[in-house]
Amino acid sequence: MEKKDIIERQENELGSIRIADEVVAIIAGLAATEIKGVAGMSGGLAGGIAEMLGRKNLSKGVKVEVGEKEAAVDMFIIVEYGVRIPDVAIHIQENVKRAIESMTGLNVVEVNVNVQGVVFSTPEPKDEEQRVR
Judge if pTM exceeds 0.85: no
Choose between 53 and 38: higher pLDDT.
38
* Burial status of residue 32 (CB atoms within 10 A of its CB: 0-12, 13-18, 19 or more): buried
**Of all helices (H) and strands (E), which one includes residue 27?**
helix 21-33
Residue ranges of the domains in the chain? 37-119
Question: Can you tell me the distance from the alpha carbon of 40 to that of 59, in angstroms, rounded to the nearest whole number?
Answer: 12
* Burial status of residue 116 (CB atoms within 10 A of its CB: 0-12, 13-18, 19 or more): buried
Give residue-wise pLDDT tens across range 99-133. 999 999 999 999 999 999 999 876 565 666 666 76
Choose between 5 and 115: higher pLDDT.
115
CATH code reported for the domain at 37-119: 3.30.70
pLDDT at 39: 92
Give residue-wise pLDDT tens across range 72-86. 999 999 999 999 999
